[in-house]
Structure 1
């Protein structure tokens, strides 16, 4: 069965599995190096914009192995059809641009929230640079902070967590793939967990996006980067909408 998967989808799945095994069993520091931190965090590196798409939740933590299983199963379900429809080049463009769109939208919202924290700390007479220094993964000094009020401590902790918490996973790129599939094949009926009847793709995706936006704006429930999903889906929709006009060129 695996041999029947077209090459780009197959190689993406293989790379994700290999990186997952290496990062969990051989070199756990890859999580700090390859996951994507907030661009102004001391832990950010330029390559993380791409490499975060191949990282998934640590084994036994959070969603654990189900994170990569769900993502790879979704890619396996939708990717081959799109790869055959669009061709390898455009499919690869779709995948990685969707992942970049996820990174951009997620961190655009992060920027708004973090700037508000910085402003609030400065209003309290505190220096946010102190938190940026202590949030560095390589920092080994004291974690004591100058804040001495409940508000200052809470803001400092929130900023620290934001700078230390990376986004990771192929979900943004895969949401782009699913959104592109929905755009090109809107009347395809899909079976959804816990719903006993098949539903057309064009009805499912808008609901998923609306829910993701609501959850992303109100807070990333359960550590899920909902706005990253929205960013990936938006890119997938835009690309597929444009390419749909010229599908005959791909066949």
Structure 2
């Protein structure tokens, strides 16, 4: 975790430029480039890619870019520029895919319950668009918390490089498992092979229980899954850098 490599530097600059640009566009950039649920009318096909360069606030981009520098540069030195860039964007797109699939399940499980409870498809779509929906009698079978969660998932956005960064974290843990990491919130060093699975497990717990809202935990999990599969396959098959550079 020393010098910054060229591709990581390029990604850092691109993320910072996007972040600065969004400060002058109001909500326009978010509506265009953040990732909407794919059945929402605001969804655009480029959003799974562009959402990787969008960040909610200064600390969001700070932590993501720090992790990209600290864990991405050693991987780029080991793999080379093209291979690392392919890995980074594949993990980010894989993150968006898993996040979208989980959202689809969450939205449609509640939607099916509403339809079974007497709402029409038109009433469901009216509610998702900000209307009143159907009869309140449906609350006998579907809780208001579930209905609100469906609404928030359908209309919410995901943004940030976290999914791609989680792929980088997992790959770092596979490539350099015994490297000791010094963390601000822990007074003692901890090896990568313990720390990285630990934070992924926390994301899984928070994602399943909903205990920590406002964070796309399953996007993190998706990036970690795709990152693990790629890094494990490359390590197993010993892909050399000359195949990419």
| TM-score, length of structure 2 as denominator length | 0.88
Equivalent-residue separation in structure 2 for 1:179 and 1:187 (angstroms) = 13
- 1:86-144: per-residue Cα shift (whole Å, max 9, x none)? 111110111111111211212221111111111111012112444435646xxxxx733
Q: Structure 2: 5+ residue runs without aligned partners?
A: none
Question: Are positions 1:127 and 2:114 aligned together?
Answer: no
8 Å CA contact retained: 1:176, 1:237: yes
Equivalent-residue separation in structure 1 for 2:216 and 2:26 (angstroms) = 25
Q: 2:110 aligns with which of 114, 117, 124?
A: 117
Q: For 1:154-169, list aligned pairs within 5 A.
A: 154=144, 156-169=147-160
Counterparts in 2 of 1:194 and 1:246: CA distance versus 1, 3 Å: same
Runs of 4+ in 1 over 6 A off after TM superposition: none
- In the TM superposition, residue 247 of structure 1 has moved relative to its aligned partner by 4.8
- In the TM superposition, residue 26 of structure 1 has moved relative to its aligned partner by 2.9
Question: Are positions 1:96 and 2:83 aligned together?
Answer: no
Q: For 1:143-222, list aligned pairs within 5 A.
A: 143-149=131-137, 151=139, 154=144, 156-219=147-210, 221-222=212-213
Equivalent-residue separation in structure 2 for 1:186 and 1:237 (angstroms) = 13
Larger deviation: 39-48 or 175-184? 39-48
Counterparts in 2 of 1:71 and 1:11: CA distance versus 1, 3 Å: same
8 Å CA contact retained: 1:132, 1:163: no
- 1:17-52: per-residue Cα shift (whole Å, max 9, x none)? 111111122353110111111122222111111111
Equivalent-residue separation in structure 1 for 2:186 and 2:84 (angstroms) = 30
Equivalent-residue separation in structure 2 for 1:96 and 1:79 (angstroms) = 12
Question: Are positions 1:242 and 2:221 aligned together?
Answer: no
Q: Structure 1: 5+ residue runs without aligned partners?
A: 58-63, 137-141
Equivalent-residue separation in structure 1 for 2:197 and 2:230 (angstroms) = 17
Question: Are positions 1:108 and 2:67 aligned together?
Answer: no
Equivalent-residue separation in structure 2 for 1:244 and 1:124 (angstroms) = 51
| TM-score, length of structure 1 as denominator length | 0.86
